[in-house]
Structure 1
Amino acid sequence: MTTAGELRSGKTHRDENFPVASWIIHPRHRGLILAFYNFVRTADDIADHASLDSPTKLKLLDELEADLLGQGAGQREAVVLRNALAERGLPPRHARDLVTAFRMDVTKLRYEDWDDLIHYCSYSAMPVGRFVLDVHGESSTTWPASDAVCAALQINNHLQDCGKDFRELNRVYIPRDALARHGASVEELGSPRASVALLACLHELAGKNEALLREGDALELQVADGRVACEIAVIQTYARQIVRLLKARDPLSERVHLGKAAMAGFSLSGIVGAIWRRATTNAPLSRSTPGA
């Protein structure tokens, strides 16, 4: 039997547009976060696999969820996460929400409007932030700001990869009503360069996403853990830079990703900024900071 892990794309946590269990996070949390990431990455790679048909993808996703819930042990990534969650007394709800999102990826290829896209993000992105906050023992009152940040990160990714998603998966996250409003068509996403109409549509969505990202600005000051606050600040710094690129460039023909050197610089500025803001505002008492 082919296992889910054997279908992995080869992408790891080091290849993402945002840090995953970086050195900023306290070592006691990194193993659990990486177990969560490996489970999610495996499920994501199944949903995106070029040679699997839809029934096979859904069957494998069902097996991952079943093993996560203790109803089997055939998929290693699910068993590792199940055991890691049990050790910390955490439920599997956030991982299960993400599996729901990947089922949607298999069965839902178009989105009607912004609200439809945000509904997808409520399964595909928001549970990630909620999971990390739960791991750190943060209050659920931090969830609304986290949800906004995570949805914005997801939509940044949708805009960055809109051409690739259409060409390789026939999957379009650009809402139909936004395309229609600008007189653009879905088929234009397959072109090597965006038309004037399509580019206007993509830039409008980038601007809307920038506003969504600002809704999460308070998150780093809402959390009690200083390390996770710094990680959030780095993620938000990356996201703001990507939004700027998306507002000015054509993702079909121009680079809209951050290079390693830029990410290193933005990481440093994000950490320094977070430490300064927490020192000069009424942030919650910090339980830990990088280096502690």
Structure 2
Amino acid sequence: MTADAATSASGKGHKDENFPVASVLLKAEHRAPVMAFYRFARAADDVADNATVDAGERLAVLTEMRATLAGTSDVSSEARALRETLSERGLSPRHGLDLLTAFERDCRVNRCRDWDDLIDYCRYSAMPVGRYVLDVHGESRDCWPASDSLCAALQVINHLQDCGKDYRAIDRVYVPLDTLAKHGAVVRDLGASVATPQLRSVIVALAERTDDLLARSAGFASQIKDRRLAVEVAIIHRLAVSLNNRLKTRDPLSERVHHSKPEALGLAVMAALSQMVGR
């Protein structure tokens, strides 16, 4: 099978994500450009994760997406739609191009050496998303460091939740190899139905390191001028803290870590009220 964005589509949408994407909290004029970026990212992610075709074909599709976003091709409909949105809003393609770097890496590399390697991956896979949303809202780039920390935390949390699935489905391991070795775990432990004690200690250790990222981003919402975006960010942070705490006590190979809809709603309401009172 030949890879392309259409045949690679996973069927996953923005409502299936762990965290809000272009929610109704955002002003209407900002939701469309955020969704254009999400559709572009979803299409590229699905291409990179397509296990039915070889890496060379997947990279060729991502190259076409890069060329279309840069304006030298019109092959990718998702990249073309984002390019038009960027032109309308006077925004740079930088964040989208950075994001493609992560998906290109996914086609070439299926293991993560250490924590620094993981955060470097987040620099391209997650941080551009937050930066783009801030640019859409006209927020100061002084917010970028806090945004980067939160986005990296969200990415690590997703990787830990899906560590077993990623290994079994596409032989990709974002859990740092040096952390596995330090705790006496091995990669094949990720394929089991229940985590070994060694793997559990790995997940807990990485969740504790993620606490540092969440601490660094704790004041992010208060830095944002747009009140509706600030509330959404506060909600995302609260959900992330809760999920990260669950990873310390639940086994993602055998137990549910994701929030149920009622649980997510309850956390969102508390975070929103706290943010509004704080304002």
TM-score by length of 2: 0.98
Consecutive unaligned residues in structure 1, runs of 5 or more? 279-292
1:105 aligns with 2:106: yes
Q: Deviations over 1:222-267 (max 9, x none)?
A: 1111011001001001101101110101111111111111111111
In 2: Cα distance, 1:177 partner to 1:6 partner: 36
The secondary structure found in structure 2 opposite 1:23 is: coil
In 1: Cα distance, 2:112 partner to 2:4 partner: 31
1:123 aligns with 2:134: no
In 2: Cα distance, 1:178 partner to 1:19 partner: 30
1:19 alignment counterpart: 20
CA 1:3–1:54 in structure 2 vs 1: closer, same or farther (change >3 Å)? closer
2-11 or 104-113, larger mean C-alpha shift: 2-11
2:62 alignment counterpart: 61
1:283 alignment counterpart: none
Mapping of residues 127-206 of structure 1, within 5 Å: 127-206=128-207
Equivalenced residues, count: 278
In 2: Cα distance, 1:118 partner to 1:193 partner: 27
In 2: Cα distance, 1:105 partner to 1:43 partner: 11
CA contact (8 A) 1:179 1:198 kept: yes
CA contact (8 A) 1:42 1:77 kept: yes
TM-score by length of 1: 0.93
Q: What letter corresponds to residue 227 of structure 1 in structure 2?
A: R
Shift of 1:114: 0.6
Consecutive unaligned residues in structure 2, runs of 5 or more? none
CA contact (8 A) 2:3 2:61 kept: no
CA contact (8 A) 1:5 1:76 kept: no
The secondary structure found in structure 1 opposite 2:110 is: coil
1:9 alignment counterpart: 10
CA contact (8 A) 2:68 2:76 kept: yes
Q: Deviations over 1:178-210 (max 9, x none)?
A: 111111101110011111111111111111112
Shift of 1:3: 4.4
Percent of paired sites with the same residue: 49
Mapping of residues 197-216 of structure 1, within 5 Å: 197-216=198-217
CA contact (8 A) 1:9 1:45 kept: yes
CA contact (8 A) 1:5 1:75 kept: no
Detail structure 1 runs of 4+ shifted over 4 Å in the superposition: none
The secondary structure found in structure 2 opposite 1:276 is: helix
Q: What letter corresponds to residue 96 of structure 2 in structure 1?
A: A
Q: Deviations over 1:119-164 (max 9, x none)?
A: 0000000010000001000111100000000000000000000001
The secondary structure found in structure 2 opposite 1:127 is: helix
The secondary structure found in structure 2 opposite 1:91 is: coil
267-276 or 126-135, larger mean C-alpha shift: 267-276
Mapping of residues 201-280 of structure 1, within 5 Å: 201-278=202-279
The secondary structure found in structure 2 opposite 1:248 is: coil
Shift of 1:217: 0.5
Shift of 1:2: 6.8
The secondary structure found in structure 1 opposite 2:248 is: helix
Shift of 1:6: 3.7
CA 1:244–1:218 in structure 2 vs 1: closer, same or farther (change >3 Å)? same
Shift of 1:7: 2.1
CA contact (8 A) 1:182 1:201 kept: yes
Q: Deviations over 1:51-73 (max 9, x none)?
A: 12100100000001111111121
